[in-house]
Structure 1
Amino acid sequence: MPNPPGTSRAETVSARKLRAMAHPVRLRLEEALGRRGFARAADLAADLDLPANQVSFHLRVLADAGLIEEAPEKARDRRDRVWTRAKQTWELGSPEHPMEDEQAGTAVIRALAAQHHDLVQRIIAWAPEYSSGRAAGVHGTFNQYALWLDEEQFTRMLERIGSVVEEFRDLNEPGAAGARRWRMDLIAADDEI
């Protein structure tokens, strides 16, 4: 997952990972795997209506890049391959550690923006139902804040937000009773860009 700029826990993503993430099928697989938590190639093939051999190939590429990993504790036997997303925090690059493949990095940024757009569209569709009282249960939020901060203060705030997310990230296994997968995107920009 991308990490806020300036945080110390983030790994600058390698060109190999960027190229693995930049492929549209692999992006869809990673998102589908994130929704399920754990899955077999056949499950993901059915979810995405893709041939199982194509899914297996792309899963191997994602695994070779370190973006997903096997979850043997979820397997039925030694031959059963169950996959999960690797727990990692990464950033695309920074002035101190520029990304190794700008073309692949730009493709990843565009894909992340498309996922963000999808998330916003789902909230837009749900919010009137909730706000009008026709639907109960919180399924999203759309908050906006305006802050006057210098760059160091902004970076410090992002680090604290990241710490809170890390604290809550592993409270439940995927599929745990009562737990739902929440997709949270944090987007911020100053008035200079």
Structure 2
Amino acid sequence: MAKAARTTRSLLFVSVLIPLLATLGADGVGGGSSRCPLVPSMTAQSACSAVSGTRHMRELCLRTLRSGAGAAVLPVTRHAATAVRGALDSYAATVAAATSLLDGGAVPADAEKAAFGDCMVGYGRARGAMSRVADDLAAGGCGDGAAGLKAGYTAGLRGMDGCRRGLLNYPASPLYARNLADRNMTLLAALLCSLVPAPPSA
């Protein structure tokens, strides 16, 4: 009787385990699947060499990635995520600086205040777009994959450019220089996201 009960429990365990393993395999654990791309891995130096067309961008890339990865070989989604987090942190610092300038009365002219306001609208749009990119990267490039990432970082760049257009008449503003640096961080994130392959066709 006890032996029969053990046999029944074993059969039940196997009947549950097999469908579970099949589901995990279909979801692409440990590799690509119908929804997730096979993401290449590389060092920070290799990733930066692959995407940087100028010395300035390569140096920015290495500073950004080596602060978190060192010489480790990591999936390109991890490198891209590091750059996206850097861009989001930079946005937050710029918004805080702009708020401090406005609250402290350092921007007396109404026209410049309006430019600051327009700039912050651009930052809000960029922050929302790049937050979605961060979520997509956390999912390993699944879902919309490269197309979704491109839509997100393109919107992020447009947000930075929207701010910059409003500040063209105020090149001496500290916000002008900060926005240029933030756009470079956004561009770096975009370039690293471009290393994420598109998911295989169904």
Q: TM-score if structure 1 supplies the norm length? A: 0.26
| Structure with greater Cα Rg | 2
Q: TM-score if structure 2 supplies the norm length? A: 0.25
The structure carrying a bigger helix percent of its residues is: 2
